[in-house]
Structure 1
Amino acid sequence: MTWQGSASDLARRLARDAEAVCRHYLSNGRRQGRYWMVGDVRNTPGRSMFVRLSGPEYGPGAAGHWTDAATAEFGDLLDVIRESCGLVDFREVADEARRFLSMPLPPPQPQPLGAQCQPAAKRGSPDAARRLFAMSQPIAGTLAERYLAGRDILLSTHERALRFHPGCYYRDLVTGETLTLPALIAAVTSLDGRITGVQRTYLSPKLDPSGKVGKAQVADPRRSLGHLLGNGIWLGLEPDTSVPVMAAGEGFETMASLRTVMPALPVAAATSANHLAGLIFPPGCRRLYIAPDADAAGRHGMERLSQRAGEAGILALVLRPQLGDFNDDLRHLGPAHLAAWLSDQLVPEDARLFLPPG
């Protein structure tokens, strides 16, 4: 049986006993009518996520399908097992599902000589995120480095937030197809440097005609895992240090583009507009440059973060790209042009400190 078929079959079997699955893995929720209500897929108390307990085996309204109204996440009961148990690899998810269903486990695959077994991650997505990051490798010489270079993003080798995983588990939430794909892994950390989550950018294993690495051809090539609110993908931040001036935005590539032309400026990518609005400020912050996405959600995130900054006595200033975003500016206009464009938007003191002379 293929992995795809195995995933679909397991999801259907779990859906036939959807309430029992929810009582076991989403124990902080409760049944309300035809649904199981809980805070989120990680079993947080609350009511924003609902799981269908009955319905057809396939398509809209199928039993076992769930939606989180607060985050717009959705999936099936295999995703519930993965997130509530903090699992990373599909084999671990499938084995846990088979244990619950009292199905025989597949024979163990032979391990390479010298390989050591790792225990499953503890319950809770931050543990899974830390495990995935630890399983990954530095980006030097990998597809991840080539992907960033293809987008003209050049970062110091000392950036500790970025790693590469050659075969990261990806599951299509609609078809149930399971793939392993190379991925750029970006650590989401708190201000003390503790990893609370990761963002995975799934990459194509093949070079495009120009010799560059692109994103994988999947429905959502960028996914996040763990506790993200208040935290961010920090570039240039030393834990527990004073940061008088910084920049923040939603997207990693937007902020990495700014860091490319201003390598001494600490930046944070919050991964979404809602998370941008809740970003925690580092100690000693006096000026905050915000690089919002050009949509309604981005404007809301910028406005909320600006309001919070003002309440904390921090001057908030907005940085605007010339094109769609700062990575577009970097790739199509070049670093010198982007630096010149930014110089008119920075406080003169910051322009002298962070931008190259000339």
Structure 2
Amino acid sequence: MPRHDAADLARSLGEHAEAVCRHYLSNGRRSGNYWQVGDVRNAPGRSMFVRLRASPKGPAGKWTDAATGEHGDLLDVIRAALGLIDFKGVADEARTFLAMPRPDPEPQSSRGNAALVPTGSPEASRRLFAMSQPILGTLVETYLHGRAITTLHGTASLRFHPRCYYRPEDHGPTESWPAMIAAVTDLGGRQTGAHRTYLDPLGLAPSGNGKAPIDTPRRAMGDLLGHAVRFGVPGSVMAAGEGIETTLSLRCAVPDMAMAAALSAAHLGAILFPPTLRRLYVIRDNDPAGEGARDTLADRAREAGIETIVLSPELEDFNDDLRHFGLEALRVAIADQLMRRDRLRYLKRAA
């Protein structure tokens, strides 16, 4: 088959990217503008990201596996998911799929006089953040204090929404909960997505962790891959971790170091590096996913000529350490892991 026919097939599949993913990558789920699954062979997990809508980063249907570095298009998805070998079989399967009737698109709605924007899009995430308010004096501040996170200067990337919509995964009626809204930005500071942490308005969730008593109290939307929730402006040194609370916990001990929360282990492995960066501290979580993200990110950083140092918690993550051992103990533990020049710069009291 001529090469341009393959390109046309890939482009046509990309126009129905979500339907392709639901059919061939059924173990995954939609997250914002991406379909997340374990790998191109449809394993359960979250390390592979398929772009569902075209963006400045590329066309719909392109995918990247943050754990392995593999990438490709939807023809590769069909080949791997079905175990096909020759391209004719892949092309025949793609044409058969494209001839199938498509389900109706998800309805879009607008609030007030706002123009229609796609649900889960970067523009929708920017509108959500704009409708939210600063966190000081709100339930977000109470929630973070409950996690022993009290260093909140430079957290303009976090806001509070008192009634953020939540749709249960079983397609039940839409609910509203207070939420911490985090802006996900690219290296230039442009917001590409948002992360929502739904909160218990009375602080009475059964888990006792301050989150709303719902199945998925954390949700993301928009264009996330490579981007992060950022605290401070990175120069030659920065730290990067998975969760917002974990990253903010380390920031309590090292308040002047720029940090970024990638929101998941898979996203941490794919985070983009600022051009000024010379040394990266990887905020590790003590679990298999955290170890995989650490290795992936460290390999990428070394290839880019960036020195990489892993910061390891004593318990599951640094928020556990902060809550169980206290700030001074965390500061001492971090001092032992920082380079001497960074101890002098960021931990003057511990140096």
- Structure 1 and Structure 2 fold alike (TM over 0.5): yes
Letter in 2 for 1:280: L
Instruction: Say whether 1:343 aligns with 2:335.
Output: yes
Instruction: Say whether 1:197 aligns with 2:193.
Output: yes
1:81 aligned partner:
106
3-state DSSP of counterpart to 2:122:
helix
Asked whether the 8 Å contact 1:255–1:267 carries over to 2, the reply is yes
Distance 1:179 1:331, change over 3 A: same
Equivalences for residues 261-340 of structure 1 within 5 A: 261-340=253-332
Query: When the two structures are superposed, what TM-score results if normalisation uses the length of structure 2?
Result: 0.70
* Higher RCO (Cα < 8 Å, 6 or more apart): 2
Q: CA deviation at 1:243?
A: 1.3
Q: CA deviation at 1:121?
A: 2.6
Asked whether the 8 Å contact 2:256–2:346 carries over to 1, the reply is yes
2:16 aligned partner:
28
Equivalences for residues 251-270 of structure 1 within 5 A: 251-270=243-262
Distance 1:123 1:173, change over 3 A: closer
Asked whether the 8 Å contact 1:182–1:202 carries over to 2, the reply is yes
3-state DSSP of counterpart to 1:299:
helix
How big is the alpha-carbon RMSD for the aligned residues of Structure 1 and Structure 2? Answer: 2.9
What is the CA–CA distance in structure 1 between the aligned matches of 2:321 and 2:120, rounded to whole Å?
39
> Gapped runs of 5+ residues in structure 2?
1-13, 26-34, 36-49, 55-59, 62-72, 79-102
3-state DSSP of counterpart to 2:166:
strand
Distance 1:30 1:230, change over 3 A: closer
Letter in 2 for 1:289: Y
3-state DSSP of counterpart to 1:153:
coil
Asked whether the 8 Å contact 1:151–1:331 carries over to 2, the reply is yes
Asked whether the 8 Å contact 2:229–2:260 carries over to 1, the reply is yes
Which of residues 166, 169, 174 is equivalent to 1:173? Answer: 169
Asked whether the 8 Å contact 1:251–1:269 carries over to 2, the reply is yes
Q: CA deviation at 1:278?
A: 1.0
What is the CA–CA distance in structure 1 between the aligned matches of 2:220 and 2:317, rounded to whole Å?
21
Letter in 1 for 2:280: L
Deviations 1:111-145 (A, max 9, x none): xxxxx732233577111111110111111111111
Asked whether the 8 Å contact 1:143–1:213 carries over to 2, the reply is no
Q: How many residues align?
A: 270
Letter in 1 for 2:128: L
Which of residues 220, 226, 229 is equivalent to 1:224? Answer: 220
1:156 aligned partner:
152
1:235 aligned partner:
231
3-state DSSP of counterpart to 1:207:
coil
Distance 1:182 1:339, change over 3 A: same
Asked whether the 8 Å contact 2:178–2:200 carries over to 1, the reply is yes
Query: When the two structures are superposed, what TM-score results if normalisation uses the length of structure 1?
Result: 0.68
Q: CA deviation at 1:352?
A: 1.4
Asked whether the 8 Å contact 2:193–2:221 carries over to 1, the reply is yes
What is the CA–CA distance in structure 2 between the aligned matches of 1:152 and 1:214, rounded to whole Å?
12
Deviations 1:244-302 (A, max 9, x none): 11111111111011111111000111111111111111122111111122222221111
Asked whether the 8 Å contact 1:235–1:267 carries over to 2, the reply is yes
Letter in 1 for 2:150: L
Q: CA deviation at 1:152?
A: 1.2
Asked whether the 8 Å contact 1:121–1:131 carries over to 2, the reply is no
What is the CA–CA distance in structure 2 between the aligned matches of 1:36 and 1:344, rounded to whole Å?
48
1:186 aligned partner:
182
Q: CA deviation at 1:36?
A: 8.5
Identity of paired residues, percent?
45
Asked whether the 8 Å contact 1:203–1:213 carries over to 2, the reply is no
3-state DSSP of counterpart to 2:202:
strand
Asked whether the 8 Å contact 1:42–1:124 carries over to 2, the reply is no
What is the CA–CA distance in structure 2 between the aligned matches of 1:120 and 1:81, rounded to whole Å?
13
Distance 1:329 1:356, change over 3 A: farther
3-state DSSP of counterpart to 1:206:
coil
Distance 1:137 1:246, change over 3 A: same
Asked whether the 8 Å contact 2:280–2:308 carries over to 1, the reply is yes
2:131 aligned partner:
135
Distance 1:313 1:135, change over 3 A: same
